[in-house]
Amino acid sequence: MKLFEESDLDSLRRKTLIYATLRAWGGQGLFEALAGGQLRTAEDLGVSERGLDVTGQVIQELGLVRRDGNRWELTPVGADLWARGVLDLVSAQDFFGTLAKIDQVLRTGDPARKTTIGVLESDPEHTRSFLEMLHRRSETSVAATADILRPLLCPSARILDAGGGHGRYGEVLRLRFGSRVTLLDCDVAVDLAQERYGSEQSYIVGDFMDCELGGPYDAVLLSNIVHGLGPEELARLLGRLVACLVPGGLLVLKDMFVGGGCDPEIAAAFGVQMLLATQSGRTYSVDQITELVTAQGFAPPTCHPVPTCGFSLLVSAGPGA
């Protein structure tokens, strides 16, 4: 989105207020309370009459709730979104409290809070919830990724899904092409993937920055991993990956890349999220990735944009192609 008029700034401000209201309803448990299907009042919900009346107008305009006098309920759309976990939101205070520290982060470069992008080995319940959310949202992206890789992978290709999380990407490649998939991730993620796919995939528990990678593989997939790493970390990982590939094996990077043929606003905004929440993560441009992969001996990547999903695949052949 490019700003041309002062009214564009007003539009952004209004959208921010709407999003904050959604977060507040989630944080106060209102969507959950209304999910039972009963009409409820402000007193039932434990909030003020005025607060519910004013914020409810916003949520009503979004088509998520409706009211009967001073009583409220979810619409079928709202109920469906709640059931699918879309409206299970943390509070506005938690979300915008971090965002409000962007002035400080801009000055220092240090994150406002440190996370591991939703995967917390110390909190298995949180990690499971996070991975379930990613799995729920991944159907279209998984299919698009498989379509792009179809002509590039040899039959029964050996694939390392590094940081593969819920395992859905590797599983679709296995089902469609007979790929032999090894998923590498932390123990919580591997446990979840094993529960879902059993022995159909192989598994390595560990940190891809220092554990034994196995191989050799015909391809390595990094899906939504690159943005969590700084340039030095990424260069080190790429050096490890090139060593576990067969000659000419493929490096497949799926992420939001600036200049990758998709909406640059999405990629740029996600970079700010990484700035706020990680020590060194960011959104990379295609040119930056090209410099990093070629320095490790890979060929310059071919870019395959998927605009409908907001990401691109960068595919590079390793040495010996």
DSSP per position, 23-73: HHHHHTTHHHHHTTS--B-HHHHTS-HHHHHHHHHHHHHTTSEEEETTEEE
Residues 234 and 142: their CA atoms lie apart, in Å, by: 23
The 3-class SS string of 186-229 reads CHHHHHHHHHHHHHHCEEEECCCCCCCCCCCEEEEEEECCHHHC
- Residue 236: its H or E element: helix 231-243
In this predicted structure, what is the pLDDT of residue 117?
52
Under the banding of pLDDT at 50, 70 and 90, the label for residue 11 is confident
**CB burial string 204-237: b at 16+ within 10 A, e below:** beeebeeeebebebbbbbbbbbbbbbeeeebeeb
Q: What is the overall mean pLDDT for the chain? A: 91
| Kind of pairing between the strands at 311-317 and 245-255 | antiparallel
In this predicted structure, what is the pLDDT of residue 123?
74
Give the CATH number of domain 6-100; options: 3.10.105.10, 1.10.10.10, 1.10.3470.10, 3.40.50.720: 1.10.10.10
* DSSP 8-state class, residue 285: B
Give the CATH number of domain 124-317; options: 3.20.20.80, 3.40.50.150, 3.40.50.300, 1.10.260.40: 3.40.50.150
In this predicted structure, what is the pLDDT of residue 116?
47
pLDDT in tens, 246-288: 999 999 999 999 998 888 888 888 888 888 888 889 999 999 9
Can you tell me the mean pLDDT for 181-210?
Answer: 94
Encoded amino acid at 120, one letter: L
Q: Where are the domains of the chain?
A: 6-100, 124-317
In this predicted structure, what is the pLDDT of residue 131?
85
Which CA distances in Å does 235 have to 209, 225, 259?
11, 13, 20
Of 216, 179, 214, 173, which is closest to residue 313 (Cα–Cα)? 173
Q: Is residue 194 pLDDT above 90, yes or no?
A: yes
Can you tell me the mean pLDDT for 74-79?
Answer: 96
Which CA distances in Å does 274 have to 21, 147, 284, 318?
23, 29, 11, 28
